[in-house]
């Protein structure tokens, strides 16, 4: 088992807590629904790309912890999905603005996760 973290805003946290698991979503954006995770227990807002420049909510407000079998998660940087996306869209710039895709992981299935109630978000 490996430990991963999922960060989200308040309205997403309410749904995750009610369900008890992380559900793949975003198929309209990538053609496949994904759960986005990181190995960062202390998040780097810019590195994770969770800056809230597009969405007004704080996407680092809540932290969920998922202990996952290694085969259920793959590094984004080595994924076939990423390679196909880059081939299809030459304007895809994942390294801009301090983003660190080497810290991103994806899963294509539901993952059980629990909210870390001691997490207080990054300091401003």
Query: Percent of the chain scored above 70 by pLDDT?
Result: 90
pLDDT digits (tens, 9 = 90+) for 38-75: 999 999 888 888 876 666 788 899 999 999 998 999 99
What pLDDT was estimated at residue 49? Answer: 81
- Split at pLDDT 50, 70, 90, the class of 99 is confident
| Helix/strand/coil for 27 | helix
Residue 95 has pLDDT above 70, yes or no: no
Query: Quick check: pTM over 0.75?
Result: yes
Burial class (CB in 10 A: 0-12, 13-18, 19+), 40: middle
Q: Give the pLDDT mean for 15-34.
A: 88
Q: What is the pLDDT of residue 92?
A: 67
């Amino acid at each position: 088992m490996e430990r991963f973290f999922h960060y989200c805003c308040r309205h997403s946290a309410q749904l995750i807590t009610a369900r008890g698991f992380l559900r793949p979503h975003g198929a309209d954006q990538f053609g496949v629904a994904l759960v986005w995770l990181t190995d960062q227990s202390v998040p780097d807002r810019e590195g994770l790309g969770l800056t809230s420049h597009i969405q007004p909510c704080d996407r680092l407000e809540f932290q969920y912890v998922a202990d996952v079998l290694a085969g259920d998660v793959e590094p984004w940087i080595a994924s076939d999905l990423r390679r196909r996306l880059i081939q299809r869209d030459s304007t895809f710039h994942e390294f801009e603005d301090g983003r660190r895709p080497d810290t991103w992981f994806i899963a294509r299935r539901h993952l059980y996760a629990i909210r870390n109630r001691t997490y207080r978000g990054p300091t401003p």
